[in-house]
A and B are shown apart, each in its own frame.
Chain A
Amino acid sequence: MKMPPLSRRQRMLVLCAPFNEGRITDRAMRAAVFRVKKADEFNHQLAFDRAVAEVIKHAPVPPEVAEWFTKETTVAPPKRTWKTIATNPAIVAVGIAVVVIATVFAFRLLERMSDFPGADTARKLLTTASSAHSLVLDPVETDAGALGDLFFMKHRLNHYDVPPEFADLKTLGCRVFDDEEGHRVAQIFVIEKHMQFFLFPAERDPKTGATKEFSDWRYVDQEGWTGVVKQKNGVCFMAALHGREKELTPYIEKVKP
């Protein structure tokens, strides 16, 4: 087989490649040798080198010298430097994996730190909001603030009231349904910005049964939808829209003193 085309550097490496494969520790040299492994020219070179080494092996060595002549007594094992460790592909791969895991972990930690009781439910409802259609609702055209009485009278849902910040917005319709955990959830469609409101029971401590409180408005987002949540009287209210936090901010700021 003919010698394959080689770069100048590869040619240079092939010409001085150790004839003992175990001595090829350099990655570039190993790659160059791999390319020419089947070439006649390289195989002649290898056979030549091995024949010379064989003659040297049979050179008579005086016994007093021979007893010293072992690799263990003449060459110390190479020291591993930071550079060789850092450029090892396995180490690089592990490093990248650790960085990715750490980033994901940090991201999740930051997300958890800004979480509030009921955030998981709020995220699930944002998914519901993204797939909901106004046709599934009972058409009700009124102010959102007026629906609290409807929920109480028709569904016996106490404190399912829309906060004053969103109470003036005109509704298209509403419905009440049970979520995966059997909690009663009220959903309201609003004309403005195609917003949706959700009212759902606040998260409770499983041991004491007490409501887990949190103050003020809290943001949550999921799949391009953003919600702003507030808790009052054991019920959470969430205003959700397909967009960013800044689109909801004006509503909750207007009532602040």
Chain B
Amino acid sequence: MTGEAGKAQEIFQATMHEAALRAAQGELPKDRLWLFRDARGRCLEASESGLQAEEVEMEHHEIASCAPEQIGQLEPAQLAIWVSGAPEPQRSALALFYLDHFNHEDLLDLVELKPAEFSKHIANGRQQFQAWLNGTCPQEGT
């Protein structure tokens, strides 16, 4: 979400601190996804205050059959930077979708999107990422 490990750690600690405070006061929210909602909110705040990614029209490429090999060549940090550069709410949708931590209903709840919007952001994200991959890690025949 932030594209920076240090910033992410700060946000994580702030969220846990908030959770601990609320727990001590017996005021933990009933929302079972509260921790993620809070962390996402802090990430959005942090990214708004930092450098903003320039909005550019991204290319869309069809998913290639060799995509898994292309992705396998990436470092986690490269992927993190790509995701953090996506505009909101696509960034949240991609980050939470690929975390493999939530079911579909939870994802929609967390990113506060309608199913069609969420689907569009994920599908576009894939094709944009494929276009980026084709430029970054070209394979034979792509």
Chain A residues engaging chain B, CB cutoff 8 angstroms: 12-13, 15-20, 23-26, 29, 40-41, 44-45, 47-60, 62, 64-65, 68, 71, 74-79
Minimum CB–CB distance from A161 to chain B (whole Å) comes to 77
Residues facing A in B89-118 (CB within 8 A) are 97-107, 115-116, 118
Please report the C-alpha to C-alpha distance between residue A65 and residue B8 in the assembled complex, in whole angstroms: 10
Chain A residues with CB under 8 A of B107: 16
Known: A12-B116, A16-B97, A62-B9. A25 touches B71 (CB 8 A): no
Q: In the complex, what residue of chain A is closest to B101 when comparing beta carbons?
A: A71
CA–CA, A76 and B64, complex, Å = 37
Q: Does B71 contact A26, Cβ atoms closer than 8 Å? A: no
CB distance from B73 to the nearest CB of A (A): 10
Flag if B103 contacts A45 (CB, 8 Å): no
- Cα–Cα, bound, A55→B76 (Å): 6
Of the residues A23, A44, A49, contact of B104 by C-beta under 8 Å: A23
Picked from A16, A24, A71, A76, the residue with its CB within 8 Å of the CB of B119 is A16
Query: Which 5 A-B residue pairs are closest in the complex by CB-CB distance?
Result: A76-B32, A59-B76, A51-B71, A51-B68, A16-B119
Contact A12 B76 (CB under 8 A): no
Measured CB to CB, the residues of B under 8 A from A are 5, 9, 12, 16, 32-33, 35-36, 63-65, 67-68, 71-72, 74-77, 79-80, 97-107, 115-116, 118-120, 122-123, 126, 129-130
List chain B residues, Cβ under 8 A from A49.
97-98, 126
| Complex Cα–Cα for A79 and B101 (A) | 17
CB pair B9 A26 closer than 8 Å: no
Q: Please, how many angstroms separate the alpha-carbon atoms of A46 and B5 in the complex?
A: 28
Cα separation A25 to B109 with both chains bound (whole Å): 14
* Distance of A20 from chain B, by nearest CB (Å): 5
Q: A52: nearest residue on chain B (CB-CB)? A: B98
A78 x B32 contact (CB < 8 A): yes
* A23 with B100: CB separation less than 8 A: yes
On whether the beta carbons of A48 and B33 are closer than 8 Å, the reply is no
Q: When the two chains form their complex, are residues B71 and A48 in contact, meaning their CB atoms are under 8 A apart? A: yes
Q: In the complex, which residues of chain A have a beta carbon less than 8 angstroms from the beta carbon of B102?
A: 23, 75
Residues of B with C-beta under 8 A to A59: 76-77, 79-80
Asked if A68 and B16 make an inter-chain contact with CB atoms under 8 angstroms apart, the answer reads yes
Contact present for A15 and B122 (CB under 8 Å): yes
7 of the cross-chain contacts (CB-CB < 8 Å) are A44-B63, A49-B97, A51-B68, A52-B98, A55-B72, A62-B9, A68-B16
Q: If A52-B79, A75-B35 touch, does A25 touch B67 (CB 8 Å cutoff)?
A: no
